[in-house]
């Protein structure tokens, strides 16, 4: 493992990092290898899938609710612990890290709402820990459109969403669908649904509803078959006249744009930290292999070009880590700034891709095979440049905030 040069790690920080590392090494990596190899993504979520062990063991290791177990700490102390945890999760497996992370996504909105019916079911009840959440925001016709809130289309009244909630007496009725990319989409039991509430005002007039996914009228698509992050379940959610009490619409159109900004600020910062972990994993594999593989009569790490490539990868990972942590610490202790979270996400995911691709190159031919882990890391990193917003669209949003 590379040295972590974070200054003055406390005993508690080391303990969380070490527990996360053990879980990543012993549970996530072997499970992810199995899940990645499954030809049919439906098998990833089959009742006997190892995926469910991962969920159980994550809880058993005390890692599912770090926020609660560190509630007495300062915001900076919590951010430091969260950064160490997220990096280890990404080091273990980025697809599983996202699945486990987004499983708690609805809780933010339940807490924000303070509505007793939601708080009792999703935070206090004995089954609250078994719920699986998701962030249902993108749509078949609106991927980048949903996140590019600084761009002109966002306020264009002619842009109609694919999922619309209409007020009807004491209820909202939801009609439409979300994209095939919703993480945990076909296994989630509850959605934080970002949808249009007033089509006459464009995508800006959205709302966020907490939607139990066992309601009549909810159905799912098939799990999405894709290049990378294959252990991460994704798929469509359809809403056919789904009726929710009006109090489940926890964000209205007045605050919608601020909430998109707030969520993107947290999600992008977290992505940055996780993909530092993936970059670090790639670098460690490359260092290990370069010490073992002999060509030209000596280990390839004795050849100057390999040495300098490994050192460049090391610098890239350390620079990404420094940025990811600095942004997380700043945003936890100040009014958060989205442009810095975007810088972290874009820089760290690009770094993860560049470093994992270079790791494949250092492995040579075997780097392309399923026998070694680096081709999977490269596929996983490739997905991250589209996930949580295409990097170039995030760049447009970040630039608008400078
Ligand atoms: C691994 C993964 C996990 C995901 N998880 C979730 C999730 O949990 N919930 C969810 O709702 N969604 C999720 N997504 C969806 C993701 O947010 C979208 O894929 C992403 O925002 C891009 O949307 P799109 O795929 O529709 O591409 P499009 O928006 O169609 O973009 C296609 C291309 O056009 C470019 N482009 C688009 N608009 C513009 C513009 N205005 N100016 C210039 N260029 C433009 C883009 O940069 C891109 O290159 C996930 C995606 C992935 C890959």
Give the domain-ending residue among 202, 233, 254: 254
- Tell me if 113 is assigned to some domain: no
Taking alpha carbons only, the member of 220, 225, 163 closest to residue 35 is: 225
For residue 387, the CA-to-ligand 1 centroid distance in Å is 7
In a domain, 45, yes or no: yes
387/266 same-domain check = yes
**In this structure, is residue 5 part of a structural domain?**
no
Look up the CATH number of the domain holding residue 294.
1.20.140.10
Same domain, 184 and 286: no
* pLDDT per position as a tens digit, 7-33: 899 999 999 999 999 999 999 999 999
Q: Domain end: 230, 254, 278, which one?
A: 254
* Chain center to CA of 301: 34
On whether both 249 and 269 belong to a single domain, the answer is no
**Model confidence at 299: pLDDT above 70:** yes
Measured between its terminal Cα atoms, the distance across the chain in Å is 37
CATH code of the domain in which 145 resides: 2.40.110.10
Write down the pLDDT at residue 158.
95
Would residue 28 count as lying in a domain?
yes
3-state helix, strand and coil shares in percent for the chain, rounded to the nearest 5: 55, 15, 30
Residue range 82-106: average pLDDT?
98
> Can you tell me the mean pLDDT for 242-269?
97
Give me the count of residues in the chain.
402
Range of the domain at 356: 258-400
265 shares a domain with 378: yes
112-145 pLDDT tens trace:
999 999 999 999 999 999 999 999 999 999 999 9
DSSP line for 28-42: IHHHHHHHHH-SSHH
Is residue 237 located within the same domain as residue 291?
no
With respect to residue 112, please indicate whether it lies within any of the assigned structural domains: no
Q: Are 147 and 139 in contact (CB under 8 A)?
A: no
> Of 68, 103, 138, which residue constitutes the final position of a domain?
103
The CA 384 to ligand 1 mean position distance, Å, reads 11
Closest ligand 1 atom to Cα of 228: 1
Which ligand 1 atom lies nearest to the CA of residue 388? 17
Q: Are residues 376 and 306 in the same domain?
A: yes
Residues 225 and 262 in one domain: no
pLDDT for the residue numbered 250: 97
- pLDDT for res 65: 83
The residue whose CA has the least distance to atom 7 of ligand 1 is 182
Q: Which residue, judged by its Cα, is nearest atom 37 of ligand 1?
A: 144
Q: Tell how far the Cα of 143 is from the centroid of ligand 1, in angstroms.
A: 4
User: In this structure, are 60 and 139 located in the same domain?
Assistant: no
Task: List, for residues 152-162, the tens digit of each pLDDT value.
Answer: 999 999 999 99
Instruction: State in Å: Cα 2 to ligand 1 middle.
Output: 33
Among the atoms of ligand 1, which is closest to the Cα of residue 137? 11
pLDDT-derived band at 198 (thresholds 50, 70, 90) equals very high
| Number of domains composing the chain | 3
246 and 364 fall within a common domain: no
Q: Indicate if the pLDDT at residue 231 is higher than 80.
A: yes
Cα dist from 117 to 35, 126, 127, 210, 243, whole Å:
36, 14, 14, 11, 16
pLDDT for residue 6 is more than 90? no
Q: What is the pLDDT of residues 160-180, one digit of tens each?
A: 999 999 999 999 999 999 999
Instruction: Work out the mean pLDDT of the chain and round it to a whole number.
Output: 97
Same domain, 241 and 264: no
Best residue among 182, 235, 386 to mutate for probing ligand 1's pocket (most ligand atoms within 8 Å of CB) is 386
Calculate how far, in angstroms, residue 216's C-alpha sits from the geometric centre of ligand 1: 29
With respect to residue 153, please indicate whether it lies within any of the assigned structural domains.
yes
pLDDT at 41: 98
Looking at the predicted structure, is the pLDDT value of residue 321 above 80?
yes
Q: Look at residue 1 and tell me whether its pLDDT is greater than 70.
A: no
Q: Angle CA(82)–CA(87)–CA(90) in degrees, nearest 5?
A: 125
Atom of ligand 1 nearest to the CA of 183: 8
- Distance (angstroms) between ligand 1 centre and the Cα of 146 equals 9
For residue 109, is it within any domain?
Answer: no
Whether 264 and 390 share a structural domain: yes
Q: What is the mean pLDDT of residues 255-262?
A: 97
pLDDT at 67: 81
Assess whether 282 and 237 both reside in one domain.
no
Q: What is the pLDDT of residues 60-90, one digit of tens each?
A: 999 988 888 888 999 999 999 999 999 999 9
Ligand 1 site residues (CB inside 6 A) read 102, 135-138, 143-144, 147-148, 151, 178-179, 181-183, 229, 383, 386-390, 392-393
3-state secondary structure (DSSP) of residue 167: strand
Q: Is residue 6 part of a domain?
A: no
């Amino acid at each position: 493992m590379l040295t972590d040069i974070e200054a003055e790690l406390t005993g508690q920080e080391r303990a969380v990092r070490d527990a996360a590392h053990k879980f990543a090494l012993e549970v996530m990596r072997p499970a992810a290898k199995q899940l990645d190899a499954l030809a049919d993504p439906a098998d990833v979520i089959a009742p006997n899938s190892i995926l469910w062990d991962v969920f159980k063991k994550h809880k058993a290791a005390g890692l599912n609710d770090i926020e609660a177990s560190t509630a007495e700490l300062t915001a900076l102390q919590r951010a430091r612990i969260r950064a160490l945890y997220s990096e280890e999760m990404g080091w273990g497996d980025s697809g599983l890290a996202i699945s486990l992370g987004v499983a708690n996504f609805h809780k933010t909105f339940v807490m924000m709402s303070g509505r007793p019916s939601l708080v009792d079911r999703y935070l206090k009840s004995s089954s609250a820990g078994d719920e699986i959440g998701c962030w249902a925001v993108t749509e078949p016709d609106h991927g980048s459109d949903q996140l590019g809130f600084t761009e002109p289309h966002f306020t264009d009244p002619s842009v109609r969403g694919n999922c619309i909630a209409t007020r009807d007496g004491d209820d909202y009725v939801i009609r439409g669908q979300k994209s095939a990319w919703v993480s945990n989409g076909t296994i989630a039991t509850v959605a934080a649904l970002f949808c249009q509430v007033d089509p006459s005002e464009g995508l800006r007039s959205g709302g966020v509803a907490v939607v139990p996914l066992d309601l009549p009228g909810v159905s799912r698509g098939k799990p999405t078959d894709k290049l990378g992050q294959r252990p991460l379940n994704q798929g469509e959610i359809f809403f056919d006249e789904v009726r929710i009490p009006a109090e489940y619409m926890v964000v209205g159109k007045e605050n919608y744009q601020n909430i998109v900004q707030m969520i993107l600020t947290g999600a992008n910062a977290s992505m940055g930290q996780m993909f530092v972990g993936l970059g670090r994993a790639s670098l460690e594999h490359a260092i290990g292999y370069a010490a073992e593989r002999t060509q030209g009569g000596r280990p390839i790490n004795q050849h100057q070009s390999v040495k300098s490539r490994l050192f460049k990868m090391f610098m890239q990972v350390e620079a990404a880590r420094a940025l990811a942590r600095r942004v997380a610490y700043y945003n936890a202790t100040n009014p958060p700034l989205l442009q810095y979270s975007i810088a972290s996400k874009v820089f760290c995911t690009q770094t993860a891709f560049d470093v994992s691709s270079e790791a494949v190159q250092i492995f040579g031919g075997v780097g392309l095979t399923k026998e070694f882990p680096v081709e999977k890391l490269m596929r996983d990193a490739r997905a991250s440049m589209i996930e949580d917003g295409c990097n170039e669209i995030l760049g447009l949003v970040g630039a608008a905030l400078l």
